[in-house]
Amino acid sequence: MKQKRFFLREDEIPSQWYNIQADMPVKPQPMLNPATRQAVKEEDLYPVFARELCRQELDTEHRWFDIPDEVREQYTYYRPTPLVRAYGLEKELDTPAHIYFKNESVSPVGSHKLNSALAQAYYCKKEGVKNVTTETGAGQWGTALSYAARLFGLEAAVYQVRISYEQKPYRRSMMQVFGAQVTPSPSMSTRAGKDILTRTPHHQGSLGTAISEAVELARMTPDCKYTLGSVMSHVALHQTVIGLEAEKQMEMAGEYPDVVIACFGGGSNFGGISFPFMRHVFSGERKTRFVAAEPVACPKLTRGKFGYDFGDEAGYTPLMPMFTLGHDFTPANIHAGGLRYHGAGVIVSQLLKDGYMEAVDIGQHDSFAAGCMFARCEGIIPAPESCHAIAATVAEALKCRESGESKVLLFNLSGHGLVDMSAYDQYIAGNL
Ligand X SMILES: *Cc1c(COP(=O)(O)O)cnc(C)c1O
Footprint of ligand X on this chain (CB under 6 A)?
111, 113, 140-141, 230, 263-270, 338-339, 383, 385-386, 414-415
Rounded to 5°, angle at Cα 165 from 178 and 103: 60
Which is nearer to ligand X, 114 or 253 (by Cβ)? Answer: 114
**Three-state secondary structure call for residue 151:** helix
Q: How far is the CB of 181 from ligand X (least distance, A)?
A: 21
Q: Are 267 and 356 in contact (CB under 8 A)?
A: no
Q: Are 352 and 344 in contact (CB under 8 A)?
A: yes
Q: Are 193 and 187 in contact (CB under 8 A)?
A: yes
Which is nearer to ligand X, 294 or 400 (by Cβ)? Answer: 294
Which is nearer to ligand X, 262 or 319 (by Cβ)? Answer: 262
Query: In this structure, are strands 131-136 and 155-161 parallel, antiparallel, or unpaired?
Result: parallel
Q: How far is the CB of 385 from ligand X (least distance, A)?
A: 3
Which is nearer to ligand X, 327 or 407 (by Cβ)? Answer: 327
Task: For residues 391 and 353, give the distance between their C-alpha atoms in angstroms, rounded to a whole number.
Answer: 24
- Rounded to 5 degrees, φ, ψ at 323 are -75, 125
Q: How far is the CB of 141 from ligand X (least distance, A)?
A: 6
Q: How far is the CB of 9 from ligand X (least distance, A)?
A: 26
Q: How far is the CB of 154 from ligand X (least distance, A)?
A: 21
Q: Are 344 and 266 in contact (CB under 8 A)?
A: yes
Task: For residues 95 and 117, give the distance between their C-alpha atoms in angstroms, rounded to a whole number.
Answer: 37
Task: For residues 407 and 24, give the distance between their C-alpha atoms in angstroms, rounded to a whole number.
Answer: 26
Q: How far is the CB of 286 from ligand X (least distance, A)?
A: 23
Nearest Cα neighbor of 406 from 272, 248, 256 is 256
Task: For residues 379 and 210, give the distance between their C-alpha atoms in angstroms, rounded to a whole number.
Answer: 35
Task: For residues 217 and 317, give the distance between their C-alpha atoms in angstroms, rounded to a whole number.
Answer: 13
Q: How far is the CB of 235 from ligand X (least distance, A)?
A: 7
**Phi-psi category of residue 174: left, alpha or beta, with phi > 0 → left and psi -120 to 50 → alpha:** alpha
Task: For residues 256 and 286, give the distance between their C-alpha atoms in angstroms, rounded to a whole number.
Answer: 9
Task: For residues 370 and 274, give the distance between their C-alpha atoms in angstroms, rounded to a whole number.
Answer: 22
Which is nearer to ligand X, 14 or 337 (by Cβ)? Answer: 337
Which is nearer to ligand X, 95 or 136 (by Cβ)? Answer: 136
Which is nearer to ligand X, 149 or 400 (by Cβ)? Answer: 149
Which is nearer to ligand X, 253 or 368 (by Cβ)? Answer: 368
Task: For residues 399 and 163, give the distance between their C-alpha atoms in angstroms, rounded to a whole number.
Answer: 38
Task: For residues 370 and 247, give the distance between their C-alpha atoms in angstroms, rounded to a whole number.
Answer: 25
Task: For residues 77 and 107, give the distance between their C-alpha atoms in angstroms, rounded to a whole number.
Answer: 8
Which is nearer to ligand X, 196 or 339 (by Cβ)? Answer: 339
Q: How far is the CB of 94 from ligand X (least distance, A)?
A: 28
Q: How far is the CB of 246 from ligand X (least distance, A)?
A: 15
Which is nearer to ligand X, 268 or 324 (by Cβ)? Answer: 268
Q: Are 132 and 150 in contact (CB under 8 A)?
A: no
Q: How far is the CB of 416 from ligand X (least distance, A)?
A: 8
